[in-house]
Amino acid sequence: MSPSLLAKSYLFLYNVFQFIAWTISLWSILWNSASTDKSAIHGGAYDSAGGLIYLIQGLAILEVGHAAVGLVPSGVLLGLMQWGGRTHFLFAIVRRITEIHELPAICITFVAWCTSEIIRYSHYALTGIGMCPSWLTYLRYTAFIFLYPIGVGPGEMWAMYQALPFIKKENLYSNLFNKVFFSYHSFVMVLLAIYPFLWLKLYLHLFKQRRTKLVKRNTKKEA
């Protein structure tokens, strides 16, 4: 097998794995909500899909490596920013503070993540083998317009804000932050203040991608 074919096969399998895992996560949230008396928006989301989402979000660091070695034409910095933001939120805050697990913000975050990733990874997998339908390409570069703000605003940022009292009460990560002149509580407050600006940079980049990809698709269709 040639190196090029090997790389394509690896990327296809990786994207299919992520697509299946995010689909299972969303299905678990919806199924748990439909089959129990606890709605997904009030606790079922974390209980039913939290463990799997930890795994697949952690594995997504591979995508930064893919960009770094040239397997995909993505930017390393933007990819690292997105992975780092999500991973910090998930592992440093959500996993440590059980009091926020049943908040609606966690459900909103998980559902927005799952939906966007199902679309993204299915598009990557089918594009890699030259079988991506035009409607999926359009969906890939359109759905983010509403999914991204929902996941960040009433999702991640609201959950972090609601976690602040518990972070302060438990003096979270004090052993680490005792070495500097501020606490983790202060760090999260500053992060919340700059989060909209970091998010806007990624959001505008996605709009730039959308113009490029959809114009290219329309140009090919006309040709």
3-state secondary structure string, the chain?
Answer: CCHHHHHHHHHHHHHHHHHHHHHHHHHHHHHHHHHCCCCHHHCHHHHHHHHHHHHHHHHCHHHHHHHHCCCCCCCHHHHHHHHHHHHHHHHHHHCCCHHHCCCHHHHHHHHHHHHHHHHHHHHHHHHHCCCCCHHHHHHHCCCHHHHHHHHHHHHHHHHHHHHHHHHHHHCCCHHHHCCCCCCHHHHHHHHHHHHHHHHHHHHHHHHHHHHHHHHHHHHHHHC
Residue from 14, 46, 156, 195 carrying the catalytic annotation: 156
Tokens describing residue 183: 């606490």
Active site residue 173: no
Residue from 54, 148, 173, 203 carrying the catalytic annotation: 148
Give the closest residue to 48 by CA, choosing from 115, 111, 6, 141: 111
Active site residue 99: no
Tokens describing residue 99: 């009091």
Q: Which of the residues are catalytic?
A: 148, 156
